Structure 1
Amino acid sequence: MFRPSLTSVISIALLGLAACGPLPVYYDEGKDQTRTNSDTLTCKVAALKQAPVANQIRHRPPVYYPGRQHCSNGHCWTTSGDWVDGGTYTVDVNQGLRSQLEQRCMAQKGYRRLELPRCSKEQIAALQSLPGSTQRGAGLSENACAVQQSNGNTVILPPL
């Protein structure tokens, strides 16, 4: 019998909430999005060389579901409990270090790390069609938001 563990239910809920939260972006007022993406890729590659992926296999402890007591016509009995495997997962033990190395590299290039709200579909359509939205050096607008593209790049709208 499959019974989802509390850990797996909480993990799924947190993943769903994370998709709604703000996106971390690197920002330097004097640089356009193409340059930012190029610098980000350069820093990610450098960080990956310094702290390569190092996956470790981990095991969650098994979970015991105790049996139940049943009574009928004055006679009671208890069914046996069930042990359910806690599951196996992998952890990249260098992920935190790699993230720090990337952030340091970007800071050395003059970027600040910000968190911007995710753009709604309506915002994307409206902000991409703004006149003069390709001007540089104006800084972040009040209604700036971020979109994560399928290639992993994060784009700030309106365009800088």
Structure 2
Amino acid sequence: MQRSSTIAAGAVLLALTTACGPLPVYYKQGAAVSRLQSDELTCATQALKDAPVANEVRQRPPVYYPGRQVCHGSGCYYRPGYWADGGIYTVDVNKPLRQRLEKSCMAAKGYQQIALKRCTRQDAAALPGPRLAPLTEASCAQRNRDGSTVIRTGG
């Protein structure tokens, strides 16, 4: 029971860390936002065709917890050791290749991948322009619910 709580807490921490850290985005100064979105979709689709999802089911090794002596008042007894299942998980073995293919495709179209801070609520209220403006210290990015990314220059 305690182990599953630890795993759940770790998953929440990982989700918060990835949701709060810098956001990787593709950028080419002066490019039309609609062109960027189209190029991203084209490259992602081609990468998916070239390196399709290839999920493999894997299992972590079981873990042995040894027994221990427990003493209360005048008597002692031994708790037996036990094995805990290592857990089963799925890995897409083509994901790293697919990411490299997409990055290469975008580089061939003149984009570079950069990491921008995530926009605050006030930053997100500003409407982006039709073209990617020069980056400033105030530049930030936000991921939309549909998976698209918006870069805001903050100026």
Task: Give the structure-1-normalised TM-score.
Answer: 0.84
**Unpaired stretches in structure 2, ≥5 consecutive residues:** none
Are the structure 2 counterparts of residues 7 and 60 from structure 1 closer, same or farther at C-alpha, using a change threshold of 3 Å? farther
Partners of 2:48 and 2:11 lie apart in 1 by 27
2:142 aligns with one of 119, 138, 147: 147
1:117 partner letter: K
Alignment match, 1:27: 27
| C-alpha distance in 2 between matches for 1:78 and 1:2 | 21
Q: Distance in 1 between matches of 2:48 and 2:117?
A: 27
For residues 119 and 94 of structure 1, what CA distance do their matches in structure 2 show? 31
Alpha carbons 2:69, 2:79 under 8 Å: kept: yes
Cα distance in 2 for partners of 1:72, 1:30 equals: 74
Once the two structures are TM-superposed, the CA of residue 140 in structure 1 deviates from its matched residue by 1.9
Q: Deviations over 1:45-71 (max 9, x none)?
A: 000111010000110112223333222
Is the CA contact (8 Å cut-off) linking 2:33 and 2:131 kept in structure 1? Answer: no
Q: Deviations over 1:99-127 (max 9, x none)?
A: 000000000001011100000112212x3
d(CA) in 2 for partners of 1:2, 1:138? 50
RMSD (Å), alpha carbons: 2.3
Which residue is equivalent to 2:46? 46
Query: Equivalent residue of 2:17, what SS?
Result: helix
1:85 lines up with 2:85 in the alignment: yes
**Gap change, CA 1:85 and 1:117, over 3 Å in 2:** same
Partner Cα distance (2:59, 2:152) in 1 = 42
User: Matches of residues 38-117 of structure 1 in structure 2 within 5 Å?
Assistant: 38-117=38-117
Unpaired segments of 5 or more residues in structure 1? none
How many pairs does the alignment contain?
A: 154
Given the superposition, is the C-alpha separation of residues 115 and 137 from structure 1 closer, same or farther in structure 2, using an over 3 Å criterion? closer
Fraction of identical pairs, as percent: 49
TM-score for both structures, normalised by structure 2: 0.87
Cα deviation code 1:114-151 (max 9, x no counterpart): 100000112212x33xxxx6374642233110000111
